Amino acid sequence: MTQVEAPAWAPMTDDERARFDRDGILVIPGVLSESEVEVGRTAIQGAYERAQEPGGHGLNATGALHQLSAVTSVPELAYLIDHPVAFKYIWSMLGWNIHIYHSHVDVHPQIHEKQKEWWHWHQDGGRQNREIETDPRPMFSVKLAFWFSDVSETGRGNFTVIPGSHKTNWLPGPPSRGVPWPQPEGATQITANPGDLVVFDRRIWHARSDNYSTFTRMGAFFGYTYRWIAGRDDVAHLPNEPWFDKLNPVQKQLLGHCPEGDGTGDHAWGHYPATTPLYGALKERGLLDSSIPALIP
């Protein structure tokens, strides 16, 4: 497994926290080194090629890959899930009792035929956006998007958001997804270079734009949430994989397997911080900031 040489752990800054609260999104340049970008790009390209083989995942009608359970599908990407420069945005906001509940790798080559303006706008979280009564709904989850392709200009399948919309429960749209519909007001294509990171609140209204450029769009997305929220990723069998024992304890926790107390409801509820790896890692580094409720044991 790829090992990351990164600076010591440190929390996100007050300025970053204020901007995230205002906009629901941060773009952090240069998080990954050139070698880390190359490792990720090669691994995702391999997944794209395997998807086209007989019995593979398959591609959609435009030749794109959207493959769920990122590390299960592409184990070489495990180095991303606790990358210190990126991961600080997760534990700074969500605390130590967390796991990855939804992740995917995306590859979108050039589209050669103009597509209808289908409505792809959504908030992450599925039924959370129907069954939670508050306005605005709780954040619950923060997502990291690592870029392995050049989306430094618009028109390259850019991740598209409405900044500040994370505190808006509903967005005016079509009566159903099968109806062509124009982009909502305020839609902004996010630009980034290979190695850049996008951090976003799961509630921000977002969509993927179509890629008509000669650049192939390539990224890996990881959604983190509390361990008492059920995961969507396929991770139950991971301890049987030969590469799993090479992961560190925090990575195992993030993939749904705490070394101690694994599989118990009480442990997932956070009743045993002493045997929760991320809690121990933060405590060892003096990062359990008592002013942040999610970091309090």
Q: What is the pLDDT of residues 130-170, one digit of tens each?
A: 999 999 999 999 999 999 999 999 999 999 999 999 999 99
User: Residue 264 has what pLDDT?
Assistant: 77
- Find all residues with CB under 8 Å of 174, minimum gap 6, and list them: 119, 180, 181
Whole-model pTM: value is 0.95
Backbone angles phi, psi at 283, to 5 degrees: -65, -45
User: Residue 6 has what pLDDT?
Assistant: 59
User: Residue 107 has what pLDDT?
Assistant: 97
Contact status, residue 150 vs residue 35, Cβ threshold 8 Å: no
Instruction: Check residue 150 and give left, alpha or beta (phi > 0: left; psi -120 to 50: alpha).
Output: beta
pLDDT per 10-residue tile (average), the chain, 297 residues: 70 97 98 97 96 88 94 98 97 98 97 82 94 96 98 96 97 84 93 98 95 96 97 96 96 92 82 95 95 91
Rounded distance, CA 17 to CA 25, Å? Answer: 10
Per-residue tokens: 116: 């209808």
User: Residue 175 has what pLDDT?
Assistant: 86
Cα-Cα end-to-end distance for the chain? 31
User: Residue 280 has what pLDDT?
Assistant: 96
Contact status, residue 157 vs residue 210, Cβ threshold 8 Å: yes
